[in-house]
Amino acid sequence: MFFSSLKGQGPHSAVRAMALVRKRLLVQVGAVAGEPDERFPAAFMRLVAEIEAALRKEETLMEAVGFPNLREQRRDNALLLAGLHHALAQVEGDQPATGRGALAALPDLLSLHRFSGLAVLAAARHGERARRRVRAAGPARSSGARARRE
């Protein structure tokens, strides 16, 4: 995808990229849902691989902007992927209904990830404000404030 072109850009660019990737994934979900049963397993497998790659890259972006809840996000992503892999095993075992059920839930699950993007922005803003306060305070002011607290 195009996440690598975002290196060195701000959190707004990262969040926009994450949103675009989610929209593309939702389009793919719709396309896979329309596949006939004989082509469904291969299409579902490709979709799961795309979701894995997208989540991995989102985590990389979150780490780059200092997202404070990255561990929890990774846990949530792992749960989503575990469910998809379970469904994929069922689909490969000639039970496409399980995969179709997972597809029906995916739009809502992927939409929950948009809140992650908002959290990334909030964390980045908080970090930037803290850096500005430290710069504005300067070394003399910040050490004086520290001395008063002690």
Domain locations in the chain? Answer: 9-149
What's the whole-number mean pLDDT along residues 93-109? 94
Local structure of 69: helix, strand or coil: coil
| CA nearest to 90, candidates 41, 43, 25 | 41
Q: How far apart, in whole angstroms, are the C-alpha atoms of residue 68 and residue 51?
A: 22
Residue 94 φ/ψ region, left for φ over 0, alpha for ψ in the -120 to 50 degree band, beta for the rest: left
Residue identified by tokens 């939702």 is: 26
Cβ 96 vs Cβ 41: under 8 Å: yes
According to CATH, the topology of domain 9-149 is: Four Helix Bundle (Hemerythrin (Met), subunit A) (1.20.120)
Q: Which residues of 34-59 are buried (b: 16+ CB within 10 A; e: fewer)?
A: ebeeeebbebbeebbebbeebbebbb
Predicted local confidence at residue 33, as pLDDT: 96
Reply yes or no on whether the pLDDT at 2 is more than 50.
Answer: no
pTM of the model: 0.72
pLDDT at position 90 over 90 = yes
Residues 142 and 36 sit within 8 Å (Cβ to Cβ) = no
In single-letter form, the type of residue at position 111 comes to S
Question: Which tens digits make up the pLDDT trace of 27-85?
Answer: 999 999 999 999 999 999 999 999 999 999 888 887 877 777 888 889 989 999 999 99
Q: Where are the beta strands (DSSP E) in the chain?
A: none
